[in-house]
Amino acid sequence: MVLPAGAPAGVLIRNPWPVLAILCLGFFMILLDTTIVNIAVPSIITSLGASLDQILWVLNAYILVYAALLIPAGRLGELYGQRTLFLIGIVIFVLASAGCGFAQSTQQLLAARAAQGLGGALLTPQTLALLTEVFPPRSRGVALGVWGATAGVAAAAGPLLGGLIVSDLGWRWIFYVNLPIGALAIAGALALVPDLKPARDHDIDLVGVLLAAAGMTLLVYGLIEGHRFNWGAFWGPLTIVEMLVAGGLLVVAFILWERLHPQPLIPTLLFLDRNFAVASVVGALVGFALLAFFFVFALYLQSARGMSALQAGLLISPLPLASMFTAPVAGHLSDRIGGKPILILGLLLFGVGFAGEGLLAGPDSPALTMVPAMVVTGAGLGMTFAPLTALALEGIRPATAGVAAGVLNTTRQVGSVLGGAVIGAMLQIQLASRLHEEALARTSALPPEVRDRVLQLYSGTGAVSMGGSAGSATAGAAPEVASQVTAAVQAIFSHGFVEAMRAPMLTGAGVLFAAAVISLAFRRGRVPAGDQPEAVRTATS
């Protein structure tokens, strides 16, 4: 079924809601993998012997490839058909998920995660492009709300689902579970999703892709690996600082190239629509904070508090439950009073809950004291994605929705990549300092030779043991001394991690408060199609 250029959207499908269900299923599976892995981090560290910086790459390899290829994938959908790219994306993602589950080393897991990112990038922009084509204008707002809420629910549900899976089946099954979900999505797409070919002629800007991917990779690599190399030379005379500068220059070169290219990856004219421009910034900040929260808090619960993956998932469960309750309410209220006040309230609640968790978390804090903050965080998260998506696309015509969706998702994922890198770097720096301070304070009663071994564990700038292992410090020691050392190391890590996590957590909360302030710039009320800037209406025509 080919859609002629300029044909009205929403006239080819009698009942588009089953199509939405399949699109959201694929979208949910892709976004779930941005957070579900966090709850499995301690298990992966133990199983594969990974360090903290390697684990950061396991998280960011997926998001980095995903973010870099989202917009080119949107263009491929316009050239070869959105359903075709949707199906190809699912197949690649499912095969890569199997590769993640079979991985026997950190390097193999990294490669498979990058392949997952490729599959996710091919799939995601097709979902919103198809949605805007098959839904008529009168029901498109509700469909957009469901699509946007799917992102929030997937992000929030990851830790709980991950905890259940890791505890019962092991960490590899957080990837194997994608196989039956992917098979269902493939069957549903073949049976229900129409093969719409918009027949738009576009080139793929390979130079833009390379500039963006290289710039982001250098920035992320520098931030993640900077602490390991003490922010100095990492390869011959080349330093981490020089790498960060080079990454920044490549990003600037990408922006300049896009302004000059006749068919840019990111049509800069889209940003003439104020709501879309503001939503892109806010989405990036939300992505930054979201990944920071799930990464740091999952490590805290399991590594510092010694909880199992299931216990950690259950403790976090009030967050997705609250999010699933507020998401549909937020969508309904957005239709009645506009998305702006709902979004601002959601961001403020999200930030307050985030800060509360960072301040309430302690080495021995009763679990129930953190539940109210979890509920507030989840309520705010549920009020964020649907109104943000609706506000972003108010002034965007369906013909440009595919590339607009790609840009919007890209900015959010770029925020996630930077959030993981920046928060990871902050955590590593804080850990090195706090653990050394705790070691000095908590080993004074140990015999001098044993104390020196313990202090040596926390004297470098490299990755530290996330489990607080006594390691070689107890070698040859008497049983009572070995017991003292084990207790001291556990206390050093739990107290040191709690102190180290406060700065990253409060930084994430501050980012959300900044997003709430920026959201004041949203224009309220829907924009009639004829009132859109002509440049926006024709940006990708």
- More confident position, 64 or 534: 64
* 524 inside domain: yes
Tokens of 405: 């969706």
End-to-end CA distance of the chain: 21
Range of the domain at 44: 17-205+263-431+496-537
Percentage of the chain with pLDDT > 70?
A: 86
pLDDT of residue 152: 67
CATH number, domain containing residue 126: 1.20.1250.20
Q: How many domains does the chain have?
A: 1
Task: Map residue 218 onto helix, strand or coil.
Answer: helix
- For 396-412, the pLDDT digits (tens) are 776 666 667 667 877 88
* 453 inside domain: no
* 500 inside domain: yes
Report which listed range, 278-287, 488-497, 525-534, is most confident.
278-287
Q: Give the range among 14-18, 345-349, 475-479 with minimum mean pLDDT.
A: 475-479
Q: How confident is the model at residue 536 (pLDDT cuts 50, 70, 90)?
A: very low
pTM for the model: 0.76
* 217 inside domain: no
Q: Locate tokens 């979208």: which residue?
A: 27
Q: Checking phi first, is residue 231 left (phi over 0); if not, alpha (psi -120 to 50) or beta?
A: left
Q: Give the range among 61-65, 110-114, 452-456 with minimum mean pLDDT.
A: 452-456
Q: Give the range among 379-388, 437-446, 496-505 with minimum mean pLDDT.
A: 437-446
Q: Give DSSP secondary structure letters for 56-117.
A: HHHHHHHHHHHHHHHHHHHHHHHHH-HHHHHHHHHHHHHHHHHHHHH--SHHHHHHHHHHHH
- For 348-394, the pLDDT digits (tens) are 999 999 899 888 888 888 878 888 999 999 899 888 887 888 888 77
